[in-house]
């Protein structure tokens, strides 16, 4: 069977979303047929259409290797890097045999497939103070940082700032002011860095902001959209856990109290008792919470929504008064899960991008979505495949992991380790994106 790159050229029909705000005309669809080998990228198809048929087609691109993040678009309604999406794969997901390409969402369109990332994406990145605020005194040569600490932030460091998660964030569609998944994933890159001196200040700022970490609706769209397995929603959840569990931040948005009410109801009943969630979030995590003045005020303001739910049958008076509850045997199992998690001396925080378990239960390094394993976590960000590629160890490391990684003031590794320049380049790329 011939290899994919040996297949002859084929014809592919592209349907491009065209729009030029300066023209005053409405957006429209434009179709072109290109001829390329099936393994060629969607970006190459658009560029061929521009070269052969219409030189006014607008698309942003640079590296063509899924590194710079410039060519983010929607292909058949899904976010993608145009340079990293093969034409044959795009055709297989096209419902009518035509590859549909349109600009990313949640950002204003400058022209055709080019969106204004400065107006939304980069503005929100700047909002989270995307640089290290070093602890004092600054060492003359380097900080000594444990390998676990640096490996922990490699997932958020893998972000290439393509904006795909911003494009598909449902929370941003409802509330454009929401800081957003890309910026909050960037925030964790510094909150999780032990060299940063203002973890509490960063977390308190993001927790108290009505459009901060508690504005995320857990829709998982950013997780699906990310081409580098950064898992922005996971980083947001980790910001919440550190803010509430470690820093004991109680926010003005009732995010911390809402989570406590939610988990309390699940632990008590095995199912969520929706009618109790709001009063417990505002009045206290008990049945008596509804009698608190703050809860009463919130219930009154929510009456129009409650009435609509009653009229549409989504809520019944009996269901509001009587809690949902699962069988006692199942409830014991649910509570056993809570007891096991809460009995741990320390919260298990290393993200799944790095750590899983092998058949013997020993920690292993795992690159998200790749399934390639090594015998233990890597020694630092220089070895951690910051672009989301496989992490591979050719042989088991010695029992003693060695001294902590030596990390310079600007993030470059000073220790003689495999590929230290990889990390310094990644940090330099981060600096150039600020």
Q: Which residues of the chain register pLDDT less than 70?
A: 1-5, 349-434
Q: What is the pLDDT of residues 17-70, one digit of tens each?
A: 999 998 999 999 999 999 999 999 999 999 999 999 999 999 999 999 999 999
Residue 146: count other Cβ atoms within 10 Å of its Cβ. Answer: 15
Q: Taking the model in full, what pTM does it have?
A: 0.75
Q: Residue 278: which H helix or E strand, with range?
A: helix 274-283
Q: What are phi and psi of 29, to 5 degrees?
A: -100, 140
Write down the pLDDT at residue 111: 96
Mind listing the pLDDT tens digit for each residue in 403-433? Answer: 444 444 444 433 333 343 444 444 444 444 4
Q: Judging by beta carbons within 10 Å of its beta carbon (0-12, 13-18, 19+), is residue 56 exposed, middle or buried?
A: exposed
Residue 374 sits at the vertex; the CA angle it makes with 368 and 376, to the nearest 5 degrees, is 100
Contact 94, 108 (CB under 8 A): no
Tell me the per-residue pLDDT of 302-329, one tens digit each, with 9 for 90 and over.
888 888 888 888 777 777 777 778 999 9
Answer for the pair 426, 381: CB distance below 8 angstroms, yes or no.
yes
Asked whether the beta carbons of 142 and 407 are under 8 A apart, the reply is yes
């Amino acid at each position: 069977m011939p290899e994919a790159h040996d297949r002859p050229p084929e014809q592919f029909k592209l349907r491009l979303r065209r729009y030029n705000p300066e023209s005053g005309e409405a957006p429209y669809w434009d179709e072109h047929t290109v001829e390329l080998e099936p393994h060629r990228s969607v970006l190459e198809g658009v560029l061929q259409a521009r070269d052969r048929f219409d030189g006014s087609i607008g698309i942003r691109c640079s590296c063509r290797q899924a590194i710079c993040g410039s060519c983010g678009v929607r292909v058949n309604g899904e976010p993608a890097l145009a340079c990293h999406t093969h034409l044959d794969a795009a055709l297989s997901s096209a419902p009518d045999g035509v590859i549909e390409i349109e600009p990313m969402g949640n950002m204003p369109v400058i022209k055709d497939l080019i969106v204004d990332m400065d107006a939304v994406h980069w503005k929100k990145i700047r909002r989270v103070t995307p640089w290290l605020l070093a602890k004092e005194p600054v060492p003359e040569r380097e900080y000594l940082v444990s390998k676990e600490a640096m490996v922990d932030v490699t997932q958020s460091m893998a972000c290439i700032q393509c904006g795909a998660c911003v494009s598909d964030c449902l929370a941003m569609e409802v509330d454009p002011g929401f800081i957003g998944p890309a910026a909050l994933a960037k925030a964790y890159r510094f909150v999780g860095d032990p060299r940063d001196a203002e973890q509490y200040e960063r977390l308190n700022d993001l927790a108290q902001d009505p459009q901060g970490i508690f504005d995320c609706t857990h829709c998982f769209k950013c997780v699906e959209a990310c081409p580098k397995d950064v898992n922005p929603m996971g980083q947001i959840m980790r910001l919440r856990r550190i803010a509430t569990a470690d820093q004991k931040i109680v926010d003005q948005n009732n995010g911390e109290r809402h989570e406590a009410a939610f988990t309390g109801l699940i632990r008590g009943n095995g199912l969520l008792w929706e009618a109790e969630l709001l009063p417990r979030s505002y009045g206290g995590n008990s049945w008596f919470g509804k009698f608190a003045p703050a809860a009463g005020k919130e219930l009154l303001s929510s009456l129009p929504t409650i009435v609509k739910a009653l009229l549409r049958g989504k809520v019944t008076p009996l269901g509001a008064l009587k809690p949902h509850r699962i069988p006692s045997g199942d409830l014991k199992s649910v509570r056993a899960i809570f007891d096991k998690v809460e009995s741990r001396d320390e919260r298990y925080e290393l993200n799944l991008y790095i750590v899983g378990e092998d058949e013997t239960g020993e920690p292993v390094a795992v690159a998200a979505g790749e399934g390639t394993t090594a015998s233990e976590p890597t020694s630092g960000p220089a070895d951690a495949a910051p672009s989301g590629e496989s992490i591979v160890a050719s042989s088991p490391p010695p029992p003693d992991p060695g001294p902590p990684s030596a990390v310079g003031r600007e993030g470059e590794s000073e220790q003689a380790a495999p590929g230290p320049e990889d990390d310094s380049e990644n940090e330099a790329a981060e600096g150039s994106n600020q």
